[in-house]
Structure 1
Amino acid sequence: MRIIAWNCRGLGNASAVRGLLDIQKRESPDILFLSETKMDWRRMERFRWIINMPNMVVKDCRGSSGGLALFWSKDVDLSVKSRSWYHIDAVIKEEGRGEWRLTGIYGEPKAEEKDKTWRLMRILRNKYKKPWLCIGDFNEVLFSHEKEGGQPKSQACMEKFRYALEDCGLQDLGFEGDAFTWRNHHYKAEGYIKERLDRAVACVEWRRANPLVRIINGDQRHSDHRPMIVETEDRRIYWPKKRGGVSLKFEVKWLEEECGERVRKAWANAIEEGPNNLMNVQRSIIRELHEWDRNVFGRS
């Protein structure tokens, strides 16, 4: 499944619409979460036909600010559970994988009111227990190195964000691509600021169910935010067949062979390659196991 979260900074002009169409054409998302649409439901209605994603839920903007929208394709079994100025919360059913939870977040941008976002996340945590993925523009960084330019971030503000994630049992999933998802595009170098405001976080249960997840910080289109692309399976890895490919999965038959030793060797090799997050290590192990499977069992 492919999920995209994008702070589009308004959809009221041709440039923004072209950016949205480009994302839909190039990335073909199954689910699309938009923040800062700056539109109400009536004006958003046409977009579900423009991007060919007929299912839509909208939280209207307030004046000329805010506004959220969640689109999903006809093949996705999704039910929306709640929404507010800061979120849209949904449950997704996947065949063979059960139910899991997706929350699109738009963090409060005003420093003095950011606690509203962290309070909301704690409330959502207690709603129900399911594997949980949370994505969007949190309007805050976790660490000082996630910002360059401008005034340094308040340590207290970053800590409040970290504590909120800890309380919710959510961990950052990392990223591929440019580290900074937002830029102010100031015309003078001394005024140029860039930050990592957009991210994907998930609980342990969701991460276990999606060991090959990729988070890609995409190319900027119209907005000063990059779209964030979540692939729950690594589409770069497949076994070629006459028609298409098959995503890598753990094979039960490996348990009857020397799988344990192969895993230990693959783990050691992945660590020796240099700094890796857990997701990259898991991908390396799965690749190694399938290469071994092909050589030993003759899979083609």
Structure 2
Amino acid sequence: MLRSLAGLSSLPWVIMGDFSDLLHHYEKRDLVPHSDWLITGFRNAVADSGLQDFPFTGPQFTWERFRGTADMVEEKLDRILTSDSWTSLFDGATACSFITPYSDHIPLLLIPVMVTQECRRCRFCFDNVWLREDKCREIIAQSWDRTVGMDVLRRIEACSYDV
């Protein structure tokens, strides 16, 4: 699935779930290490798809087996992957994990917070073709009459706000 997303990284993507694989060796606590080729393959698939691991607070090992025994295994199999465009769009997003006694997986909660960009007013540019419009001519005349005594640049600026 990740390889099929290659080339779509300009779109805002978020993928959450059980990937059943690791990005790093420290994402597993066990006596038997995870295979290097599996970690490298998964890491390459994530990178090739234009996604990155979205951090979350709380317990990082999201799956466990043989809890309470000497053979206990803990791994970070569940994760959130996002594209750069999603991360930019939801710049205030946060995520966390929760402990649950009913599953061998820990649920993840993603809170997407869209940061609104301050709307900046574009620079006003006058076009002579507007003078052909009666309403435009009326607005300009009223603004020009209202700003008598101001310098020309301030009058033009005031006119731009009246439009």
What pairs up with 1:1-300 in 2 under 5 angstroms? 120-125=1-6, 130-189=11-70, 191-233=71-113, 249-250=115-116, 252=118
State the shift of 1:127 in Å: 7.0
Runs of at least 4 residues of structure 1 off by over 3 A? 124-129, 248-251
Q: Determine if contact 2:64/2:73 at 8 Å carries over to the other structure.
A: yes
1:184-226 Cα offsets, whole Å, 9 max, x none, are: 134422x011010000011110100011111211122411000
CA distance in 1, matches of 2:99, 2:67: 18
State the AA in 1 paired with 2:118. V
Question: Structure 1 residues 127, 174: CA separation in 2 closer, same or farther (over 3 Å shift)?
Answer: closer
Letter in 2 for 1:167: D
**Looking at both structures, which has the greater relative contact order when contacts are Cα pairs under 8 Å and sequence separation is at least 6?**
2
2:125 equivalent in structure 1: none
Residue-by-residue CA offset, 1:86-137 (whole Å, 9 max, x unaligned) = xxxxxxxxxxxxxxxxxxxxxxxxxxxxxxxxxx221244579621111100
Q: SS where residue 166 of structure 1 aligns?
A: helix
The verdict on how the C-alpha distance between 1:128 and 1:215 changes in structure 2, with shifts beyond 3 A counting, is closer
1:258 corresponds to: none
Look up the equivalent residue of 1:147 and give its one-letter code.
K
Residue segments in structure 1 that go unaligned for 5+ positions in a row: 1-119, 234-247, 255-300
- On the 8 A contact 1:218/1:226 being kept in 2, the answer is yes
Aligned partners of 2:14 and 2:80 also within 8 Å: yes
How many corresponding residue pairs?
A: 121
| Structure 2 residue ranges without an equivalent (≥5) | 121-163
Q: The residue matched to 1:180 in structure 2 has which SS? A: coil
Q: Which structure has the greater CA radius of gyration? A: 2
Counterpart residue type for residue 27 of structure 2: E
> Percent identity over the alignment?
29
1:253 offset after TM fit, Å? Answer: 7.9
Judged with a 3 Å threshold, the aligned counterparts in structure 2 of structure 1 residues 171 and 149 are, in CA distance, closer, same or farther, namely same
User: Which whole-Å CA distance do the structure 1 matches of 2:79 and 2:54 have between them?
Assistant: 8
TM-score (norm 1): 0.37
Which TM-score applies when normalising by structure 2? 0.66
User: Which has more strand, going by share of residues?
Assistant: 1
Q: CA deviation at 1:250?
A: 4.8
Q: Deviations over 1:205-263 (max 9, x none)?
A: 01000111112111224110001111102xxxxxxxxxxxxxx8456389xxxxxxxxx
**CA RMSD for the aligned pairs?**
2.5
Measured in 2, the distance between the counterparts of 1:174 and 1:142 equals: 13
Deviations 1:147-200, CA, capped at 9 Å, x for gaps: 1113001111000011001100000111100111011134422x0110100000
Asked whether the 8 Å contact 2:28–2:73 carries over to 1, the reply is: yes
Partner amino acid, structure 2, of 1:171:
Q
Which residue type is aligned with residue 213 of structure 1?
A
